[in-house]
C-alpha cells in the first residue's frame, strides 16, 4: 500500500537526505487525546482531491508553517505494528487502532484506499483516516515527492 506523508516545504532537503523521523503531533483537541509518536501518513491515491485534503487541512490549521510537500512511500512489513483508523479514534484509544500486519490492515481498512475506506456508510470519512508508522522511514524508500506551490510572500 502506498502512503503519503506531508511535511513543511522547508524540511524537504533534510527528509531527502535523512528520511522521515517519528515525531508527536503538536497540539491536541482535548486533554484526553493522545498524540502518538510516529510518522503520520495517509493512504495515497492518484486523485488530487483525496491526497490534497490533509495538505489543505495542515495549511488551514496553522498557516504560519507555510506550504507542504508530500513524500510517497510503500508500507513494508517492518512498519508493523502501526496505528490505523480515523484520526480522532486513534487519539482516543491507541490499543484499538493497533494493527499487527498488512493482512489485518486489509481486513480492517480495505486492501486499497477508496473513498469509503473508513466507513462505508459515510464516504466522507476518508478525510479523517490516517496511519501512524512508529519507525523511521529511510530516505531510500521515498518513491515520489509531490511539491506544493512556492510560498507566497506577505
User: Which of left, alpha, beta for 65 (phi over 0: left; psi -120 to 50: alpha)?
Assistant: alpha
Of 28, 6, 31, the closest CA to residue 130 belongs to 6
Give 49's contacts (C-beta < 8 A, 6+ positions apart): none
In Å, what is the CA distance from 15 to each residue of 4, 31, 75, 109, 150? 13, 31, 17, 28, 18
Per residue of the chain (154 residues), what is the pLDDT tens digit?
Answer: 889 999 999 999 999 999 999 998 765 544 445 678 999 998 887 777 777 777 888 778 776 667 899 999 999 999 999 999 888 788 888 888 999 998 888 887 764 444 444 344 444 555 678 899 999 999 999 999 999 876 566 5
Amino acid at each position: 500500500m502506498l502512503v503519503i506523508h506531508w511535511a513543511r516545504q522547508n524540511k524537504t532537503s533534510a527528509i531527502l537526505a535523512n528520511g522521515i523521523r517519528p515525531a508527536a503531533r503538536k497540539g491536541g483537541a482535548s486533554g484526553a487525546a493522545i498524540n502518538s509518536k510516529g510518522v503520520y501518513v495517509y493512504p495515497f491515491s492518484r486523485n488530487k482531491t483525496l491526497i490534497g485534503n490533509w495538505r489543505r487541512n495542515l495549511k488551514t490549521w496553522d498557516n504560519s508553517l507555510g506550504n507542504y510537500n508530500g513524500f510517497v512511500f510503500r508500507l513494508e512489513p517492518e512498519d508493523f505494528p502501526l496505528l490505523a483508523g480515523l484520526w480522532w479514534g486513534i487519539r482516543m484509544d491507541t490499543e484499538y487502532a493497533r494493527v499487527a500486519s498488512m493482512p489485518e490492515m486489509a481486513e480492517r481498512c480495505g486492501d486499497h484506499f477508496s473513498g469509503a475506506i473508513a466507513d462505508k456508510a459515510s464516504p466522507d470519512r476518508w478525510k479523517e483516516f490516517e496511519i501512524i508508522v512508529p519507525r523511521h522511514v529511510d530516505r531510500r524508500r521515498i518513491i515520489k515527492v509531490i511539491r506544493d506551490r512556492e510560498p507566497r510572500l506577505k
